[in-house]
A and B are shown apart, each in its own frame.
Chain A
Amino acid sequence: MRLDTLTQSIGEWLRGTGPESDIVMSSRVRLARNLAQYPFVNRATEQDRADTERILRERIVAAPMGIALDYIDVGHLEEVDRRFLVERQLISREHADAQGARGVAIDCMEQVSLMINEEDHLRIQCLHSGLDLHGAWEQIKTVDDQIEKVVPYAFHPRWGYLTACPTNVGTGIRVSVMLHLPALVITRQIDKVFRSLHKISLAVRGLYGEGSQAMGDFYQISNQTTLGRTEEELVQQVADVVPVIIDYERRAREFLVRETQQNVHDQVSRAYGILRTAQTITNEETMQLLSRVRMGVLLGLIGDVKIADINSLLIRTQPAHLQKLRGSDGDSSDDIERARYLRQHFEGGDSQVKTSAN
């Protein structure tokens, strides 16, 4: 099964490369689309859902998009596999928890994902590493154009692309960046930043989208309105604000180094120490500590860790990833397993632990 191959790799967006990748983890654009000849998913019968799933799957797989897509039948996946896809940002929590026929087509780089029968019949997503909103937009435009040739999207000249929820109508576009803002959190300026974002109708969310809590100082910033402006204008609206936030975060990091270097160095060293030696650790604490270590590496306070490794650990220490990595034989708790995985990962940490445990 392809999911096991995924377990061994990491998605393109976690490479830790691309412009401004010290602060911008990833750039994402998604489009909401519906078939004109079926009710929206929440009003669809079981038969309707099976029909829309089949029609979209056949047509998406056959459309000449220039990228190889793999199709995963989400409706028949075990819960751990659905959670795994959520942790990898390939499907949404809503899609994982939904009922009935549904699936997702993804490319091998995990840049493109096409969710079938989420809240809308089709949700197209392009996820790029670092700050690359225009690259993600160009790619999604091509994918959307190819699908539109073979799928009659529900469209109205006045209202645009018609969606199940009026909050997405028009362009159906959601443009977002995931930012790592530890220094703004430590210097308590983050709320001020969020308040000013709300004023210009941008939304701030946690790592896993709507309703999720911001863990480990990671935040998603996205457009809230989808009607009355072109897609390019909405991409630009988010693109315009990101350099401003990057600048704030950089200045806050400089301030921390200048004014409280010893303190910051102590904090990140302690975080690194706990990750290397803990015997049991929650997901939340891991995220928090990895966030601090990530900042420490970027400030040159920790020398021997790669950003791509920390990015990868942020995903691989999530519950479903851990469960898949350890296989079905593990009977210890998630927190013990997570601590073991972290110790094994960080060089030197494991041998020290072995000596003290034996």
Chain B
Amino acid sequence: MKCQQCDNPAVFHITELESGSVRELHLCEDHARTYLNQNEDAGGGSEGGGAPKKGVGQSAGGPLGVGQTADDLAALDQRVCEMCGITFFEFRNQGRLGCPHDYIQFEKELEPLIANIHGATEHTGRRPSRAVPAGADPAVGTDGLTEVIGLRRGMKEAIASEDYEKASENRDAIRGIEDRWVPPLPSGQSPTP
């Protein structure tokens, strides 16, 4: 679906409730930002709709804003996770991250936010007993497996652009990674197709 204001793909789907009637907006990221900011400036937007869902990401505006210009923040908002494709802007609006890799991709940005929430930036609790497979970097935990999220996205794009060679390369890469990381089902049961 295209953005209602330009030719870019619509990634924000907004439903506005205005005095009983429903208005649907489909916008690209840039136009969504303009639209949402405009609503925020107007004091939370029209009744019930315009203001984005308040999430934990919004409190990031505080610690993140310190010493940063509006341009810095705008550039930060544009940053994209190479695995799941979420932008920092989307996270700030929804308060939910897109995939486990975001903790690595946005580590610098998340650090002050996490310190603010927990008063700590280092896990000291339990750890999975299973070691990472040979060849994987233990310093990034299970990120080697999370890579398949990006590969799956790439496969979909390759199929859409009819690049079947690339699609099958990605499919094989996903299988290879999952075979190394995902333990077999207990008692030798085979998974349903």
Chain A residues at the B interface, C-beta cutoff of 8 Å? 34, 36-40, 42-43, 54-55, 58-59, 62-64, 119, 145, 148-162, 164-167, 169-171, 173, 201, 225-231
Contacts and interface: CB of A to CB of B under 8 A. Distances in A.
A63 B189 CA distance: 11
Given A37-B149, A166-B117, A227 B126 contact: no
Q: Which secondary structure dominates chain B's binding surface? A: loop
A37 B183 contact: no
A153 B128 contact: yes
Interface string B37-77: 00000000000000000011000000000000000000000
A156 B117 contact: no
B96 A40 contact: yes
A59 B192 contact: no
Contacts of A158: 121-123
Residue from B83, B98, B123, B149 whose CB has the most chain A CB atoms within 10 Å = B123
Interface stretch (B12-20, B25-33, B134-142, B165-173): B134-142
Contacts of B119: 201, 225, 228
Interface residues of B, number: 53
B103 A152 contact: no
B101 to A, nearest CB: 9
A164 B134 CA distance: 28
B178 A63 contact: no
Interface of B: 55-56, 83-84, 86, 94-100, 103-104, 110, 113-114, 117-130, 138-143, 145-146, 148-149, 177-178, 181-187, 189, 191-192
Residue from B84, B146, B178 whose CB has the most chain A CB atoms within 10 Å = B146
A225 B96 contact: no
A155 B140 CA distance: 8
A156 B185 CA distance: 24
